[in-house]
Structure 1
Amino acid sequence: MTCKGITEKTLVRLIAAAMAIGGMKANARNIETDPELKMRLVPILADEKVSYFNMINREKAASCPVKDRFDFSLDLEEPLKIKNPNIENRIRNSCIMGKWDRIAVEIFNYNSYEEFIEFELNNTTFFGQILFKINDEMIKILNQVEKDLIDNQAPGYKAPLANSTLREKSGMHGWGMAIDFDVGMNPYVLNEKSEGELDKVLIGAYDNIAKLMLGKNESDLRKLKIGRTAFGNGSIGDVYDILREESDAMKRYFLLMNDNIALQEFIETEWAVKNPDTNPPDFAAIKAQMENDYRILGGKTDTGNVWRTETREDPPFAPNSMGGTGDPATGFLNLRKEFVEAMVNSGFAWGAIDISGEPGDIQHFDLRLQGVGARVYDLLLKYK
């Protein structure tokens, strides 16, 4: 008896289970030559079959009962009939797919992630902008944000450009519970996933800016991983103010880079007042530092538009970075304070500070901190 209801994805997952418990080659018939392996494998296969049917397709479970546990293992051969199958990649992909399907089943009661995308997400408008494929919970909260801003600011209030909502199988974006605003002017400044080596270089540039322009010992961007409590009294307003101060300092830093007279005047006046007991920095050295920091952050240079093309890591402002403008002189925080506060006060997590382990995504807001969004986020972490 061979059950045709099992999907190829599930069969590949079963192959992974079989290989894990006995070093079995990908041919289910071979277990006949190993009674001990067969005895261990057969119950696992049967349990996987029942689990699959109960979770994904209860109707097929009734039409395809487990009558012979070993015969069910013959279903494992189906994926192997494909010419030159890449078993390792297919197993890896099946595990990724399984995470998204499982969350769709457990939280939203859909049979699959694809079904969730098709039937659960809806379109809406936000300050006149059409937003496609987002979760109803986010629609409700965005409506509240719009109402609050219009009531507290002005009827003609304009929100920043919404650049991204649904990105399938990509964090909270994958569930229609995240949105990015004005990505070109509000980049991911630090702590982006898999960019640890780049961060070591970026933070040096941020430190240089904070030291020269603000008289700090180091950049407050170093505190992002600590969380909101590292900024003033811990309010989102205090987080915003400190980040905005450094963003504005970055704008001026790179404007001075291109104006020798203004840079010299700054060193002799503002810098001297903040550092009365210190000799002024060498003009040529500061100029060279600025130009190097500009390149490090991804600014366009005379030698090309992309920095370190040999690596997949992308500096915040690099043209090859998502939304990169190639000009750090625009600063990294250009969302208005009242907008950020309205989003956060309505329930959104701000990517600049609220992404555990990876804060610094200035453009990003999502629902990981409350309601169904928190449940989704917990399972995204659980089913890595």
Structure 2
Amino acid sequence: MAIEKASYIDTIIPATAQSCPVTNRDYFTRDLEEALRNRSPNIGQRIDSSLRTDKWDRIAGEVFNCASYDEFIELKLNNSTFFGQALLKISDAMIEILYKVEEDLIDSQGPEYKAPFANSTLRKKSGMHGWGMAIDFDVGINPYVLNEKSEEKLDKELIGAYDNIAKLMLGKNESDLRKLKSGRSAFGDGSIGDIHDILQEESDAMRKYFSLMKDDTAFQEFIETEWAVKNPDNKIPDIERIKAQMEKDYIILGGKADTGNVWRTEVNEDRPFAPNSMRGKGDPATGFLNLRKEFVEAMTDRGFAWGAIDISGEPGDIQHFDLRLQGVGARVYNLLLKYK
């Protein structure tokens, strides 16, 4: 004889807390799920979220066959050297590529070649650094100049300072740092060499701009010679007004004025040269690029992404190189984007 369906939910009597026999387990499960959906439409999503593995553990398992991210750190990262510098906790993929970069530079530049100082490799659960697949060089004078995450408001102030430098020192209408978000193709023929040349020109201009701020004689000479050549039809500018703008630009970029004043900054903002910034040491007069052209080319020729131009949506990290463009690094990077 067929068993007549009895709704589990309908047979519950809350007032007397009577029990209800389950006459059919399939009906019971279906009724319970339906009731939960009706009373809490997001229950499935909440359950899924509670069961979801931490993305770092998940990637460690999918890509490296490790039980957890901590196991990945313990088993899959190793120590190495780069031009005599000890590099701790980096991936085998990066060890192999850095070895080739070192060989290339010694072959092209000679055995006495010195690479910039490597400041940072592993930073746990922090982008490609979190997988031992990123490295930063000379962070004190190769800062994150523009486009850092969630700093759109700050960028408007910074780009104004960069524009002032490019206009006065180079005769440009605006700074080429504005082009970073447009990618490699926005610079010359799109080669790393062309990009480096343009950024180096602006970095050198920044150094000179702020050196003139404190040298009236040199400033006057610059206006009468270099500036006059670039601006033959323009009236000689008001030097005192320009010096006041220079001082403002200096502290906008994170420098400290002679008076000790610094530009007031929101809590989460990271001015490129702010003394309290992990990426700067407080002096825009050093410029923003000291990585030599042959070094950057050697790194990118071997497949490294350069943070200055190759970080989609957030370019401008001059010091940074990582493996997001190739091999296992590309797989890890794409999963970092996928698993929020």
Q: CA RMSD in A?
A: 2.2
Higher relative contact order (CA 8 A, sep 6+): 2
Q: 2:213 matched to which residue of 1?
A: 257
| 2:167/2:173 contact within 8 Å kept | yes
Q: 1:301 matched to which residue of 2?
A: 257
2:151 equivalent among 195, 201, 212: 195
The alpha carbon displacement at 1:204 in A equals 0.3
**In the alignment, structure 1 residue 282 sits paired with structure 2 residue 238:** yes
Q: 2:336 matched to which residue of 1?
A: 380
| 2:324/2:330 contact within 8 Å kept | yes
Amino acid aligned to 2:320? H
Relative to the length of structure 1, the TM-score reads: 0.76
The alpha carbon displacement at 1:306 in A equals 4.3
| 2:144/2:279 contact within 8 Å kept | no
**In the alignment, structure 1 residue 216 sits paired with structure 2 residue 172:** yes
The alpha carbon displacement at 1:114 in A equals 1.0
The alpha carbon displacement at 1:37 in A equals 5.9
Q: 1:107 matched to which residue of 2?
A: 63
Identify the structure with the greater helix proportion: 1
| 1:191/1:199 contact within 8 Å kept | yes
What is the rounded CA distance, in whole Å, between the counterparts of 2:146 and 2:36 in structure 1? 52
What is the rounded CA distance, in whole Å, between the counterparts of 1:199 and 1:318 in structure 2? 14
Structure 1 window deviating more from structure 2 (268-277 vs 349-358): it is 268-277
Q: 2:275 matched to which residue of 1?
A: 319
**In the alignment, structure 1 residue 350 sits paired with structure 2 residue 306:** yes
Q: 2:14 matched to which residue of 1?
A: none
Which stretches in structure 1 are left out of the alignment for 5+ residues?
Answer: 1-31, 49-90
| 1:257/1:287 contact within 8 Å kept | yes
The alpha carbon displacement at 1:39 in A equals 5.7
Give identity over the alignment, percent. 76
Which stretches in structure 2 are left out of the alignment for 5+ residues?
Answer: 1-28
The alpha carbon displacement at 1:305 in A equals 6.2
Amino acid aligned to 2:198? I
Structure 1 window deviating more from structure 2 (315-324 vs 344-353): it is 315-324
The alpha carbon displacement at 1:271 in A equals 0.9
Relative to the length of structure 2, the TM-score reads: 0.85
What is the rounded CA distance, in whole Å, between the counterparts of 2:90 and 2:76 in structure 1? 8
Aligned residue pairs: how many? Answer: 306
Once superposed, which parts of structure 1, at least 4 consecutive aligned residues long, lie more than 2 Å away? Answer: 34-41, 302-307, 309-312
**In the alignment, structure 1 residue 369 sits paired with structure 2 residue 312:** no
Q: 2:15 matched to which residue of 1?
A: none
Structure 1 window deviating more from structure 2 (164-173 vs 317-326): it is 317-326
Amino acid aligned to 1:347? G
Q: 2:183 matched to which residue of 1?
A: 227
Q: 1:224 to 1:310 in 2, by over 3 A?
A: closer
The alpha carbon displacement at 1:278 in A equals 1.0
Amino acid aligned to 1:274? K
Bigger Cα Rg: 2
Q: 1:134 matched to which residue of 2?
A: 90
The alpha carbon displacement at 1:312 in A equals 2.2
Q: 2:138 matched to which residue of 1?
A: 182
The alpha carbon displacement at 1:280 in A equals 1.4
Pairing 1:62-101 to 2, within 5 Å after superposition: 98-101=54-57
| 1:307/1:318 contact within 8 Å kept | no
